[in-house]
Each structure stands twice: as structure tokens, then as C-alpha cells.
Amino acid sequence: MRRRLPPLTALRAFEAAARLGSFSRAAEELLVTHGAISRHVQGLEARLGIALFRRFGRRVEPTESGRSYQQALGAAFDDIAAATERLAATAGQGQSLVVNALPTFTMRWLIPRLTRFQRAHPEVELRLVTSDRPVAATDGFDVAIRRGPEPWPGCRAAPFLVERELPVCSPSLLARRPIRTPGDLVSGGHVLLHADTRPNAWARWLDAAGEPAARAAAAPAQRFDHFYLTLQAASDGLGVALGPLPIIVDDLAGGRLVAPLDGPAVPARSYYWVAAEDRAAEPALAAFCAWLVAEGAATADGA
């Protein structure tokens, strides 16, 4: 059956604008003009007969339908990118691994350590794709990194990094509003930063700290759809986030974030490598997974 699809350029323009929350940033990413993004989006809205954005002067915000459409398109583009990488890897271009990893983990932990893997295995080219979608053996990656455990049919998986959460904020915010006890977080006028990808995290931490979890709902809050935005907001002094150790050890060491309380450091879900069962023993893939385990152990010791 013939597929009736909107123009790819319009889909790319819309997906970038909805993901970035800005026509201007979408234009920068796609190397086109602001006007081109606007025209593509308007044409797509006319074709679909539905508003994809709410417009507030020069500011735009995806509608509920627009956000849902962007998530579906983003997943499709991820699949296309991964399939392309896999095809290139089989075209005689040497050993190549497609790594499908969580965005925050990739930015805060994986990329700062990749030079060590590259020095140890210069023959292996790593190609990174970030995504927080559930994974399956047919997703077109060599190895995925996800929090778990989860049921991953047809896959082999193993934990390599244990995560613990505790409150973190910017040094400037702490200087303005000290945090001496867990109660100061909900009674001291602090804004608690939440991530949609980690629901109930604050309630869980306050409960472990001996504070009624219901108090988290009464505290000022700011919500973000991605966890890396929550950590960036904390670094910029917008409020207090639950930072995962050891993912943020570099931020703490560099002074971008501080942990005002000694604890509790509440255990959260571990990080797992996930690979197709019939490919997990391939030399390059096995070397990368073994490196993850070794780096995870070293990071935990350092934290």
C-alpha cells in the first residue's frame, strides 16, 4: 500500500522546532532560516488540519497533539539513524558499534570517559544515538544503555553502574538559601526541580529522609520533560534537583553543583548494557561491555 506521508523537510522542521521549543534553534540545527521553519510548520498544520503549536508572540510551545506527534517522529528518526549507522557499519568501513544510550547518561558520564575506550580499542568506531525509548532486540543498535532491570526479550543484559540520588544545587543558590536539614528543602522556600522521566523521585527521597512525602507536593516546583534539563536548571540556580551519583561526580568535582546534605543517598535503578542475545559475544561488542563494567566499578570507587 502506498504511504501517504507529508514532505520529509516539513517533518524534520516540525520535529526540531517541537523538540527544541524554538523555531530559531530549529533553524540553527537544520542550517536553514527561521522563515523556512515557520513555512514548513504552517504547511504541515494546513495539511493535517490541526494546530501543532501555541504561539505567544515570538515564543512557541507544542500543543498536546504536537508533542505527541513530535515524540512519534523523533522515535522514527532515531530508528532511521540507527538503521543507517548499521548499514554503514556493514559496508566494509571497519569495526563499528552503534551505542543507543540515555541522553543524560551520555552527556554526563559516557562521553567524558570515551577517550579511555578509544585509546584501548582504536580499531573500534563508536557511533552514539541518544534515546530514552524502551529497547528490543530488533531496534537496530549494537548495544543499548538503559536503567533497569526490565524485561528485554531476546537480549542479554547486565548491570554495570549503581545509582544513588541526593539533593544538589548551584553554589550560588546554597549561599543565598542554606540547606542544613532535609526539612529546609520544603520549608525554606526552595524550588524542587522535577523530571517527567523520574516521577515520584522527590517523594521517595523525602520519605527516606524522614520527611512526609506529601510535603513535596506543597513545595514550589518546576518540571522538565528531560532529566538533563533538570540538572542544567540546578546548575543555573533555578532550584534543587535530585542528582544521581555517580553520574554527576564530575559536576561535583568541578564545582558546578554542590550536595548540601550528607544523605540519605537513596538507591535508584541501576544502569545496564543491553545487546541482542545472538550478538553479545562479538569481540568489539564484548570489549565495550567489559569496558563499561570496569569504568562503572572505578566510578563507584571514586564516588
As a whole-number percent, the residues of the chain with pLDDT over 90 amount to: 43
Q: Quick one: DSSP state of residue 155?
A: E
Report the pLDDT value the prediction gives residue 189, as an integer from 0 to 100: 81
Q: Has residue 92 got a pLDDT over 50? A: no
Report the pLDDT value the prediction gives residue 106, as an integer from 0 to 100: 93
Q: How far is CA 289 from CA 147, 154, 248, 268, 270, in A?
A: 15, 17, 21, 21, 15
Contacts of 151 (CB under 8 A, 6+ apart): none
Strands 164-168 and 266-267: antiparallel
**CA-closest candidate to residue 131, choices 89, 156, 99:** 99
Report the pLDDT value the prediction gives residue 2, as an integer from 0 to 100: 67
As a whole-number percent, the residues of the chain with pLDDT over 70 amount to: 92
Average pLDDT, the chain: 87
Report the pLDDT value the prediction gives residue 279, as an integer from 0 to 100: 87
**CA-closest candidate to residue 138, choices 273, 272, 277, 3:** 277
* Alpha carbon 222 to its chain's center: 18
Higher pLDDT, 213 or 225: 225
Report the pLDDT value the prediction gives residue 52, as an integer from 0 to 100: 92
Q: Using only the alpha carbons of the chain, give its radius of gyration.
A: 21
- Give the tens place of pLDDT for each residue, 243-283: 888 888 888 989 999 999 988 988 888 999 999 988 888 89
**CA-closest candidate to residue 76, choices 148, 28, 140, 121:** 140
Report the pLDDT value the prediction gives residue 239, as an integer from 0 to 100: 94
- Give the tens place of pLDDT for each residue, 154-205: 899 999 999 899 999 999 999 999 999 998 888 778 999 998 888 888 888 9
Separation of alpha carbons 83 and 89, rounded Å: 10
Main-chain dihedrals φ then ψ at residue 170, nearest 5 degrees? -80, 150
Q: Mean pLDDT throughout 1-24?
A: 86
CB-CB neighbours of 33 under 10 Å: 12
- Give the tens place of pLDDT for each residue, 48-73: 999 999 988 777 889 999 999 999 99
- What domains can be seen in the chain, in order of their start residue? 8-72 (1.10.10.10), 94-162+269-302 (3.40.190.10), 164-267 (3.40.190.10)
Cell numbers standing for residue 121 = 580499542
Grid cell 504552517 in the structure block, residue: 42
Separation of alpha carbons 154 and 136, rounded Å: 7
Separation of alpha carbons 297 and 303, rounded Å: 10
* Alpha carbon 185 to its chain's center: 25
Q: Which amino acid is at 135?
A: V
- Helix (H) or strand (E) holding 222, with range, is strand 221-224
Cell numbers standing for residue 228 = 538533563
Q: Where are the alpha helices (DSSP H) in 22-153?
A: 23-30, 34-48, 64-89, 103-105, 111-120
Q: Has residue 301 got a pLDDT over 70? A: no
Q: Mean pLDDT throughout 129-144?
A: 84
